Amino acid sequence: MSYTKPLPAIDNWNRPFWDATREQRLVAQACEPCGTVFFPPGPVCPHCLSAKLSWKQLSGRGTVESWVVFHQVYYKGFADEMPYNVAMIRLDEGARMLSNVVVPNDSLHADMRVEVVFAPATEELSIPKFRPLTPGEG
Ligand SMILES: [Zn+2]
């Protein structure tokens, strides 16, 4: 079955991120002088504007800060998943990421602890989503 949702445009800035997701790893850029970890990728640190950046392996864990639930079909590929959530995840390393939490929408709550899972989309791409962590998991 072919993937019918929109796919990211891969460029030189985000290619290391998408290469890592294909290997089921979550990475983000880290600023060497100030330590800020950020997403989406870019040419300079959004905190101190340094261009001395490297890619950091992340734990894949984070906390739900906020979310919305979409009830309107903006892209036909999402029609079978209506309504679906889009959540702002604060990763444990500090970066924020927009993604889906794979739970019933009415069970989402602020400060929910989550962990990344990877949903294969194409041979080249896997989409990072999040699942809830149970209390003992952190
Ligand atoms: Zn910095």
Ligand 1 centroid vs 47 CA: distance in angstroms?
A: 5
Both tokens assigned to 14: 């985000």
- What is the pLDDT confidence band of residue 59, given thresholds at 50, 70 and 90? very high
CA nearest 127: which of 12, 2, 3, 1? 3
Ligand 1 centroid vs 119 CA: distance in angstroms?
A: 31
80-98 pLDDT per residue, tens: 999 999 999 999 999 999 9
Range 42-60 average pLDDT: 97
Ligand 1 centroid vs 37 CA: distance in angstroms?
A: 8
The single-letter code of the amino acid at 125 is: L
Ligand 1 centroid vs 33 CA: distance in angstroms?
A: 6
Is pTM beyond 0.85? Reply is yes
Ligand 1 centroid vs 31 CA: distance in angstroms?
A: 5
Ligand 1 centroid vs 64 CA: distance in angstroms?
A: 24
Both tokens assigned to 119: 């949903």
Domain ranges of the chain: 15-137
